[in-house]
Amino acid sequence: WSWTRDGGRIFNSVIVLGFFAWIALKYGGPILRKRAEDIAEQFENLKTAQETAAKNLVEYEKKIAVFEGEAKKIRAEAKEDAEAIKQKIIAQAKEAAELIMKKAEERIALEAEQARETLQRETTLTAVALAEEILKKNMGKGDQAKLVEEYLKGMEKAN
């Protein structure tokens, strides 16, 4: 152990490490802060999309409830019409009432299904758009090359 030899090495090491620490703090700090801000923004976008989807779900549930109310109203009207018809046309009235009921239920089922499909389509499109945006921001060239290679290997195995 020698102060002149080892002390100089220690001093040089401290200077070099100090320089690297200064570089890391000067340039690494803003990069890490920007990355943290990007992630926070992505979470905020996802939260907004989730809130929008929840609002759409509530809206479509209200529409479904309205359709169900209309169905009850149509059923009640059909029953009142059937009871008011005279004895000689009861058979014809029952057939007409059953036809009205079937059409009303089909219409209600169709509109409810359309509402569900619209909600599902909107939710899916929003989720796909957000996923695409996140993948574009987070996927590097190496990741893309790896995915292409894995896909091609999968295609070779399939064939």
Position 110 in a domain:
yes
- Per the structure, the count of domains in the chain is 1
Position 112 in a domain:
yes
The pLDDT-based confidence of 16 (bands split at 50, 70, 90) is: very high
User: Angle 29-84/90-138 helices, nearest 10 degrees?
Assistant: 180
For 25-76, what is each residue's pLDDT tens digit? Answer: 888 778 888 888 999 999 999 999 999 999 999 999 999 999 999 999 988 8
Contact yes or no for 115/63 (Cβ under 8 A): yes
Residue 85: strand, helix, or coil: coil
Tokens of 90: 């009861």
Position 142 in a domain:
no
Position 13 in a domain:
no
pLDDT value, residue 1: 65
Position 9 in a domain:
no
Q: Report the range of poorest mean pLDDT among 21-25, 51-55, 91-95, 132-136.
A: 91-95
Higher-scoring residue by pLDDT: 89, 157: 157
pLDDT value, residue 87: 56
Residue 20: strand, helix, or coil: helix
Higher-scoring residue by pLDDT: 151, 92: 151
Average pLDDT, the chain: 86
Mean pLDDT of 126-151: 82
Higher-scoring residue by pLDDT: 136, 58: 58
The pLDDT-based confidence of 92 (bands split at 50, 70, 90) is: confident
Domain coverage including residue 83: 40-136
pLDDT value, residue 95: 85
Position 56 in a domain:
yes
Position 120 in a domain:
yes
Position 121 in a domain:
yes
